[in-house]
């Protein structure tokens, strides 16, 4: 009886130790199995000596180091400083702000930095080196962030919902704040600090004015107090009509004195709660949000008014360029450019213009936004979307660092070859005094934070690239897999291969050859290439793919909308000839005939079908590859990812069948061999989409 009881207890314990719900992200700190490595690390881990200074961020660094080393090495890091065998924090003013150096010297490991944040990031880096089992006996390297503000933008609402959030509800429990501090806020801050994220915007860009009330500022302060020791600054999205909504003024015209005074007073109040408050993020005159144009003023007038209000407190205004008026004759591609380019030089010094990575809207693939490189006098921040609004929600496995990297390494040629988007954003092309990058967060209340466990890699990878856009996707994938999933080398390789291919696979079965914006209306999940009518023409699918009996694609050359003319000559040369344009961007810039022979050797229709069919078989390959890692990753995680991959396969089949059947109504050509014509009809596919649209 007793024996049975012990066995039962043991199996429960083993199960509990083994089952992993993903909560600990990449900060697991489980005991390392490699005993030789553990012995090596132990030689440097007996104490932490803080010769830097004592403040809350440095204390966090020491606490994190001790906690991490305790777990990874199974030791207790002591407070007793000796001459050898420990980790020492040191001041070095020659190191760039927030950067650090880690060096093994005289039997110790020294983490030096100019600022406390540098010490924090250096500590997390040392832990990462150990987690990934690198050698530290001779470690000697420096690292510093290329971009100053590395932000997460949360699209979280007052009622706890998240716009375009697919991992549960908001992390912020507004009704419980400020009294109740959910311990999860600290876990969130730790994760961000470990990848160098130093700023967060707490609320949706479609902003409720409520956040600027005294009651809510007290709640925001409570969060800011939790995040501060992790080096994270808090920002808010603001509603441009707040003076009218909250202040009961007759309007919110940025040139009205009383409106300006209202904002000045409001800024003073915000800073009385949160002295190190970062500033305001603004979506104005876009998709129904209020803005300065209602009063005949420009975006610069609006931004500068807010900039003046936060200036005495060193605050910033981040003004979004995601604007596109409903212009039935125009091309949405050009709207933001035409609106903002003429304003270059008119923004106040503490204004940053935040631009989405592409000209339309977070598509699975877009050419880079033409505003990058076009505004030398205005700091341009990059806005990426980590949450998978147009990339299959939390159902699809898509490793986004591939997308981020593709955009960042695109060459704008504005100052000659090598003027990449990354170098525009990091300020090196135009010497911007302030630099910033933002990622729309994919976090939520789901136990594993991101819904799809593999989407944790997108949060992680975004942070790593925000720190240094020169990191490779391979390196990022490797680090994340080692820290999160498994220390078995073969399984690591298999998973890395899945991650690195996943984005292209998603493009293949959804938007190959430069198709874009053919997702389900409003929800942006699934496909709706036949969508002809909507509240605005540029919210339909046919506006973008322009398929007809002759061919498919949007002519944006000089013969068409000439959006291509917004780029520098070199970029135009890359893309303006349909024969030589990279197939990735073909339908972004060209209307191509169905029978056009492509560089692949196939004609256009055959190539399009090939991409859709291959996309589906590639998902099958991902499924088979995932099967191979069974036993090498935690069982709960294995099953969860497996289930989601199966759902992704069903989605891929839907995309394929719907799109080839629909485009076939235009091309009038048969599905090419060796592919087998879909068993379902176009009408059946439309029914599936109708279900998604049911409220």
Which amino acids are annotated catalytic?
A: 287, 361, 389
Q: Which of 52, 188, 227, 322 binds ligand BDP (CB under 6 A)?
A: 322
Q: How far apart are CA 468 and CA 471, in angstroms?
A: 6
In the block, tokens 């305001």 appear at 280
Q: Which is nearer to ligand BDP, 206 or 617 (CB)?
A: 206
Residues linked to residue 142 through DSSP beta bridges, in sequence order: 101
Q: Which is nearer to ligand BDP, 164 or 219 (CB)?
A: 164
The per-residue b/e assignment along 64-92, b for 16 or more CB within 10 angstroms, e otherwise, is bbbebbebbbebebeeeeeeeebbbbbeb
Q: Which is nearer to ligand BDP, 496 or 516 (CB)?
A: 516
* Residues between 115 and 154 with contacts to ligand BDP, criterion CB under 6 A: none
User: In angstroms, what is the minimal distance from the CB of 158 to ligand BDP?
Assistant: 15
Q: How far apart are CA 104 and CA 87, in angstroms?
A: 9
Question: Would you tell me how many other CB atoms lie within 10 Å of the CB of residue 463?
Answer: 23
User: In angstroms, what is the minimal distance from the CB of 440 to ligand BDP?
Assistant: 7
Counted residue by residue, the chain has a size of 695
Q: Which is nearer to ligand BDP, 96 or 520 (CB)?
A: 520
Q: Nearest-CB residue to ligand BDP?
A: 361
Q: Which is nearer to ligand BDP, 103 or 528 (CB)?
A: 528
DSSP 464-502: HHHH-TTS-HHHHHHHHHHHHT---HHHHHHHHHHHHHH
Q: Which is nearer to ligand BDP, 262 or 362 (CB)?
A: 362
Select from 121, 48, 56, 43 the least CA-distant residue to 89.
48
Distances (CA, A) of 669 to 611, 626, 664, 665: 16, 36, 6, 8
| Binding-residue total with ligand BDP (CB under 6 A) | 10
* Contacts of 200 by beta carbon, 8 Å cutoff, 6+ apart: 151, 152, 153, 154, 192, 227, 232, 233, 234, 235, 441
Q: How far apart are CA 464 and CA 474, in angstroms?
A: 12
Q: Which is nearer to ligand BDP, 157 or 402 (CB)?
A: 157
Q: Which helix (H) or strand (E) holds 233?
A: strand 233-238
At residue 554's C-alpha, the angle toward residues 552 and 558, to 5°, is 130
Q: Which is nearer to ligand BDP, 361 or 651 (CB)?
A: 361
Residues linked to residue 88 through DSSP beta bridges, in sequence order: 49, 110
Residue 163 binding ligand BDP, by CB under 6 A: yes
User: In angstroms, what is the minimal distance from the CB of 25 to ligand BDP?
Assistant: 26
User: In angstroms, what is the minimal distance from the CB of 555 to ligand BDP?
Assistant: 24
Classified as helix, coil or strand, 318 is strand
User: In angstroms, what is the minimal distance from the CB of 292 to ligand BDP?
Assistant: 17
Tokens of 603: 């004609």
Tell me the per-residue interface mask from 243 to 282 with ligand BDP, x by CB under 6 A, - otherwise.
----------------------------------------
Residue 164 binding ligand BDP, by CB under 6 A: yes
Residues linked to residue 381 through DSSP beta bridges, in sequence order: 354
Tell me the per-residue interface mask from 14 to 53 with ligand BDP, x by CB under 6 A, - otherwise.
----------------------------------------
Q: Which of 361, 406, 446, 618 binds ligand BDP (CB under 6 A)?
A: 361
Tokens of 229: 């020791």
* Residues between 366 and 395 with contacts to ligand BDP, criterion CB under 6 A: 389
Q: Which of 87, 197, 205, 685 binds ligand BDP (CB under 6 A)?
A: 205
Residue 166 binding ligand BDP, by CB under 6 A: no
User: In angstroms, what is the minimal distance from the CB of 205 to ligand BDP?
Assistant: 5
Taking every pair of Cα atoms in the chain, the longest distance, rounded to a whole number of angstroms, is 85
Q: Which is nearer to ligand BDP, 205 or 336 (CB)?
A: 205
In the block, tokens 């932490």 appear at 48
* Contacts of 54 by beta carbon, 8 Å cutoff, 6+ apart: none
User: In angstroms, what is the minimal distance from the CB of 285 to ligand BDP?
Assistant: 11
Instruction: Identify the sign of the CA torsion 480, 484, 487, 490.
Output: negative
User: In angstroms, what is the minimal distance from the CB of 523 to ligand BDP?
Assistant: 9
User: In angstroms, what is the minimal distance from the CB of 386 to ligand BDP?
Assistant: 13
* Residues between 284 and 303 with contacts to ligand BDP, criterion CB under 6 A: 287
Q: Which of 24, 128, 283, 452 binds ligand BDP (CB under 6 A)?
A: 283
In the DSSP assignment, the letter for residue 518 is -
Interface positions with ligand BDP (CB under 6 A): 163-164, 205-206, 283, 287, 322, 361-362, 389
């Amino acid at each position: 009886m007793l024996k049975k009881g012990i066995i039962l207890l043991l199996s429960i314990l083993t199960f509990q130790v083994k089952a992993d719900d993903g909560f600990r992200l990449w900060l697991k700190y489980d005991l390392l199995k490699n005993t030789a490595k553990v012995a090596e690390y132990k030689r440097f881990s007996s104490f932490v000596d803080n010769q830097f200074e004592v403040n809350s961020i440095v204390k966090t660094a020491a606490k994190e180091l001790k906690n991490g080393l305790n777990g990874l090495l199974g030791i207790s890091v002591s407070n007793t400083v000796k001459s050898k065998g420990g980790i020492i924090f040191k001041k070095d003013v020659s190191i760039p702000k927030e950067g650090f150096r880690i060096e093994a010297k005289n039997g110790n490991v020294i983490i030096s930095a100019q600022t406390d944040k540098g010490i924090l990031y250096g500590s997390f880096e040392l832990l990462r080196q150990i987690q990934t089992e690198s050698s530290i006996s001779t470690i000697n390297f420096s690292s510093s962030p290329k971009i100053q503000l590395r932000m997460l933008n949360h699209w979280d609402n007052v009622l706890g919902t998240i716009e375009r959030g697919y991992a549960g509800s908001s992390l912020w429990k507004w009704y419980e704040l400020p009294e109740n501090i959910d311990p999860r806020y600290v876990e969130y801050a730790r994760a961000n600090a470990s990848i160098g994220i130093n700023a967060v915007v707490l609320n949706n860009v479609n902003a409720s004015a409520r956040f600027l009330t005294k009651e809510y500022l007290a709640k925001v302060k409570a969060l800011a107090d939790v995040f501060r020791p992790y080096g994270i600054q808090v920002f808010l999205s603001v509603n441009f009509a707040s003076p009218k909504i909250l202040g009961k003024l007759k309007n919110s015209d940025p040139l009205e004195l009383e409106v300006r005074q209202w904002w000045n007073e409001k800024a003073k109040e915000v800073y009385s709660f949160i002295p190190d408050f970062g500033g305001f993020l603004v979506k104005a005159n876009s998709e129904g949000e209020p803005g300065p144009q209602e009063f005949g003023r420009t975006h610069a007038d609006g931004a500068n008014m807010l900039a003046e209000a936060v200036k005495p407190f060193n605050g910033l205004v981040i003004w979004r360029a995601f604007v596109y008026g409903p212009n039935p004759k125009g091309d949405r591609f050009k709207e933001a450019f035409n609106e903002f380019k003429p304003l270059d030089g008119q923004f106040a010094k503490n204004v940053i213009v935040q631009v989405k990575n592409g000209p339309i809207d977070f598509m699975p693939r877009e050419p880079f936004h033409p505003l990058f490189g076009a505004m030398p006098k205005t700091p341009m921040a990059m806005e990426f979307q980590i949450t998978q609004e147009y990339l299959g929600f939390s159902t699809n496995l898509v490793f986004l660092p591939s997308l981020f990297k593709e955009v960042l390494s695109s060459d704008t040629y504005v100052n000659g070859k090598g003027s990449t988007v990354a170098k525009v954003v990091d300020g090196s092309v135009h010497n911007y005094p302030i630099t910033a990058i933002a990622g729309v967060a994919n976090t939520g209340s789901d136990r594993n934070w991101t819904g799809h466990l593999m989407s944790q890699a997108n949060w992680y990878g975004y942070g790593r690239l925000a720190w240094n856009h020169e990191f490779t996707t391979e390196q990022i994938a490797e680090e994340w897999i080692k820290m999160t999933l498994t220390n078995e080398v073969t399984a690591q390789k298999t998973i890395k291969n899945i991650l690195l291919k996943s984005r292209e696979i998603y493009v293949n079965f959804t938007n190959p050859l430069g198709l874009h914006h053919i997702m389900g209306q409003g929800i942006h999940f699934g496909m709706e290439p036949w969508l002809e009518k909507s509240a605005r023409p540029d919210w339909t699918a046919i506006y973008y793919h322009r398929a007809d009996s002759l061919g498919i694609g949007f002519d944006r050359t000089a013969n068409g909308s000439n959006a291509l003319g917004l780029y520098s000559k070199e970029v135009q040369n890359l893309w303006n000839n349909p024969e030589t344009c990279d197939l990735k961007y073909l339908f972004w810039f060209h209307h191509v005939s169905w029978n056009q022979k492509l560089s692949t050797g196939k004609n256009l229709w055959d190539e399009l079908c090939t991409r859709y069919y291959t996309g589906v078989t590639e998902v099958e390959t991902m499924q088979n590859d995932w099967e191979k890692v069974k036993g090498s990753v935690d069982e709960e995680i294995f099953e969860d990812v497996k289930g989601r991959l199966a759902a992704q396969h069903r989605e891929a089949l839907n995309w394929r069948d719907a799109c080839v059947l629909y485009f076939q109504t235009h091309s009038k050509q048969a599905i090419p061999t060796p592919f087998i014509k879909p068993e379902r009809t176009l009408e059946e596919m439309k029914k599936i989409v109708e279900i998604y649209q049911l409220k």
